[in-house]
Chain A
Amino acid sequence: MLPAKLNNNQEPDIHRHKSFHESLCEGYHFEVKNDIKRMGSRSIYYYKEGHSLLISHFFCSRVHVLNLETGKLRWFDHHGSTVRSTGVCNHEIITTSWDGTVGVTGFDTLERRLILTEKGMGRSPDAAISPDNKSVFSYSYDSDKNPDLTSNAIREWNLSDGRLKRTIQLPGTHLSKRRCGYCMVYDDHLFVVSNTGHLHIYNWLTGSLFAEYFCYDQLQSLCLFPALNMLAMAGSLGTIYLCDFSGRLILSRRKAHLHDISQMFVLPDQPEIMISISFDGTMKMWKIPGLELLDSAKVNGDRLWTATAANDLLIAGGDETLTCIYDIKNMHFKLKGMLIFSDESYAIITNSTHSFFTNDQSIMQVRKDIDGTLPDDQLSEYLLHTECNLSVLKDLFNPENNDQPTFLSNNKGFYQITQ
């Protein structure tokens, strides 16, 4: 078989020759050591301006900030408990936590500027930012903190000075087996769904209620399609409800997942494509308005809690200790790699497990493919050191290039010495 052939344009189409290091690592694969503590993902957010991922974890107050260009990992531990959601506004990180506070932290300095809370504020699963970037709306399970209160609440905080501007007590009884809720803002509309089964739409400027809808489901996720004059909501039954933007008319409903739908969102550059993730361990890609299923992927056996889109990639995580990275540019899920976090370390391993990058090589080990044994210490260390390459992270998340062959071809090879 020839190493080269003519392509369709009658131009040379050269097969890539393996680099020395690719051949060196043939027959081995790389993995995170079994005894390393791994942290599942509770919330993942891609911050485009800083080309960084913000990740919070289970049973842990730490928020990691991973720079996808430089590979630098930073973190802060400002909250007293699990951080449930992360986002960025005005180059500041907005976090909500089970400790009943909303934190505002400088993205560059990671110094906390504001702690937004008051006495009656319960665990906060989510926050939304006003379109003018001046206010943050926190959702909190106040009923959970004080059982005399049956209602959860939305609070509007002034982002410049942290002042509480308004509290909206949500109608209905929120004391149920499972607490959940979510809010979003669009124009002057504040959309809220809760485990009561209610969708409420407020005018956030005046606090007045525009509309209310009720369904027998513990609603926990919401997705808006203003251009289509539609919204989608979902909850514990795994059903997606498509509703008109006024919140008064259900247009269609579809059983989409086996268990709770924990998050739904629209792809940033494709407003007609929606992603849903579920506790059934799958994520699905839908075309709106017909709710046509484009693709589905089983991420892992456990609950999926969070996902975010970064250019042509989708990063999803949950109870499982692996955070998976999928290429979605061709409207289907193609696994590209996995991210693993452990306190102050992280590793990204490509799908083939033959390339990786980590900020701490001591968390990694190498195994022989053939029998799963570990090579001797010095050879292991040599292989780990040789193969650890920042390009694995950098090229994967490069918006112009996330094809595996490209970053492998840029890997250390023939041209390592004379640079």
Chain B
Amino acid sequence: MNTKNFSDYYPVYKDLSDQMKTNTSARNIGVTDHKKNLLTDMQNSETGFSESSAMLNARELTDTSLKLGFSPFQIIILLIKNAFEGHVFLTWQIRPGQLFEKGSFLFQSGPESMIHSFYKNFEKYRPGLNQVWNLLQEKVHGITGISFDLMVHTIVVNNLIRPPVSLVSLYDIRSFSDTLPTNQQAMDHSFKMVLLGEAALAEHEFIQRVNIIYEEKYKKFVHQLSLKEGVFSHYQRKLALSLSPEIKTEEELDDLMYKKLVEEQVNRKYPDSDKYVAGIQLSPETPESTLKFVNKTKAFYRSVSKNCSEIHSAADGESCFPELNSIFLKANSIYNQTVSNLSESLLQFMRMLLLLSEVVIFRKSKGYKISDNLQLIADFNSKQVLPDEELKLLHRNMDTILIDYRQKCFTDYKMKFVMDDDFTDLHNHFLQKQLEYIDQQIIQIQKDIKEVLKLKTDIPISKKDKKQ
């Protein structure tokens, strides 16, 4: 089950390959003979990763990354990504190349975020990362006095695992000085939020994907049913209006319907749903924890928009850049959704973050320039401790949001017909029956309307008769 258009994960081998290409072009514009030989050696080596999805061990990766000129901060991110890729391979036998193609979510009998699974098992990988950090400190001068824990925590809570490491090439590792006071409880809470956010995002993506695949698989019926649902709703409304005391004839009824339709169109602010309003709207009492996510979402929304600028700047941009157009529309839809509590703001943030990862990976893969100033590291050494009660409420509310969404989309219902091909024919058969049923209902409701109007015209006559 996979129809994902955009990759949401940029694997280590691609980061290395990109850097190698950058270095090669740098070589062409004049690098030392020594470096030229080094690059040639690497391209010819057994771990030639330029076009394959080979996996490296941590030492090899450290050495290679150093040779390619990655910053120590980028190397640590690469090591975490490498551990993630190892986790994915050991757990699901998925190689980095497949991860790049299919994304970091598994869509089988239910949703699963591979990143969530990795973070849940993160402590298993921490000793290995600590060892390589010690090794790196020996090899690179000037990276002493760094709080490794704070650095790793920052990488995790800012979700730097998904996008290419080239985006953080200018970040100074000395920001993570071990003299900075940290708050372990706040760090634990942020980590729990990341876990919750990833799990919620997986569920949300799953629901959306089931919708998309269902619509694709039962395209013919979905379209027809959608049209007929519209017609049926129209007549239901007409039947309701036909009962108004002042309505006596079909013409009056049609006029009233038209009037109501116009009123509705005039009063309706936004077409999709009353959940949608222009931009993120918040009440003055919005708690700080919610505001934090809202502000991060705003920043990411701006970054996504900047990275979709071609659709506005280029002639016929929407047609020439359909992928960017699709991302831009999705960003607006996420951004315009109202958020009233922490769980909604966290889910909104996670969705925007995923979209940002997708757009930068898309641009990187297509060779488009990525807009600067992405503000990827928005959460640095936060000391905000969420009260336990609020954390529990966050979990409960998130569950409720996702269950409601799942229910609204009939995900459990559609899932079977998406995944179990044995039921495709039977479902098609019943969808056809459903169409016929709606047709009958429409005919019936039309008769009902006529009956109502007829009854109304009959009543005065009978009353009159009685008087006589």
Contact = CB atoms under 8 A, between A and B. Distances in A.
A417 B441 CA distance: 17
B239 A417 contact: no
B225 A417 contact: yes
A417 B212 CA distance: 11
Interface string B391-431: 01001100110010001111011001000001100110010
A5 B437 contact: no
Contacts of A394: 403, 407
B398 to A, nearest CB: 10
A4 B452 contact: yes
Contacts of B143: none
B385 interface: no
Interface residues of A, number: 39
B455 interface: yes
B240 interface: yes
A17 interface: yes
Contacts of A417: 214-215, 218, 221-222, 225-226, 229
A20 B229 CA distance: 12
Given A3-B448, A20-B434, A385 B413 contact: yes
A10 B245 CA distance: 8
B400 A69 contact: yes
Contacts of A11: 243
B227 to A, nearest CB: 9
B407 A414 contact: no
Contacts of B441: 17, 414
Nearest to B425: A378
Interface residues of B, number: 47
B452 A71 contact: no
A373 interface: no
Interface string B432-468: 0110011001001100100110010000000000000
A340 interface: no
Contacts of A24: 430, 433
A108 interface: yes
B241 interface: yes
Q: Which of A24, A50, A70, A108 neighbours the largest number of chain B CB atoms within 10 Å of its CB?
A: A70
A209 interface: no
B232 interface: yes
Given A71-B403, A108-B395, A417-B221, A20 B437 contact: yes
A208 interface: no
Q: Which of A3, A10, A69, A391 neighbours the largest number of chain B CB atoms within 10 Å of its CB?
A: A3
A390 interface: yes
B240 A391 contact: no
Contacts of B427: 382
Contacts of B392: 91, 108
Interface of B: 211, 214-215, 218, 221-222, 225-226, 229, 232, 236, 239-245, 392, 395-396, 399-400, 403, 407-410, 412-413, 416, 422-423, 426-427, 430, 433-434, 437-438, 441, 444-445, 448, 451-452, 455
Given A17-B445, A414-B232, A12 B226 contact: no
Contacts of A13: 243
10 contacts: A2-B448, A4-B240, A70-B400, A108-B392, A388-B412, A390-B403, A394-B407, A414-B438, A418-B225, A418-B229
Interface in A84-138: 91, 108
Nearest to B408: A419
Nearest to B417: A385
B452 A2 contact: yes
B127 to A, nearest CB: 26
Q: Which of B410, B423, B427, B434 neighbours the largest number of chain A CB atoms within 10 Å of its CB?
A: B434
Consensus secondary structure, chain A interface? mixed
Contacts of B455: 2
Contacts of A390: 403, 407, 412
A270 interface: no
B403 A3 contact: no
A69 B399 CA distance: 9
Contacts of B241: 12
A128 to B, nearest CB: 25
Contacts of A418: 222, 225-226, 229
A394 B408 CA distance: 13
B407 A391 contact: yes
B232 to A, nearest CB: 6
Contact of B410 (A2, A67, A72, A412): A412
The 5 tightest CB contacts between A and B, nearest first, are A12-B243, A418-B226, A12-B240, A70-B403, A417-B225
A271 B246 CA distance: 49
A415 B408 CA distance: 10
A386 B410 contact: no
B437 A386 contact: no
Contact of A415 (B229, B240, B243, B244): B229
Contacts of A385: 413, 416
A14 to B, nearest CB: 6
Contact of B403 (A4, A23, A69, A416): A69
Contacts of B396: 50
B426 A20 contact: no
A4 B243 contact: yes
Given A4-B243, A378-B426, 18 more contacts: A2-B451, A2-B455, A3-B239, A12-B239, A12-B244, A14-B239, A14-B240, A17-B236, A20-B433, A20-B438, A69-B399, A378-B422, A385-B416, A391-B407, A414-B438, A417-B214, A417-B226, A419-B408
A85 B168 CA distance: 57
A227 interface: no
A50 B400 CA distance: 12
A370 interface: no
Contacts of B445: 3, 17
Nearest to A385: B416
Contact of B430 (A6, A12, A91, A382): A382
A23 to B, nearest CB: 6
Contacts of B430: 24, 382, 386
Contacts of B448: 2-4
Nearest to B410: A416
Interface in A10-29: 10-14, 17, 20, 23-24
B403 to A, nearest CB: 5
A399 to B, nearest CB: 14
Contact of A382 (B229, B423, B438): B423
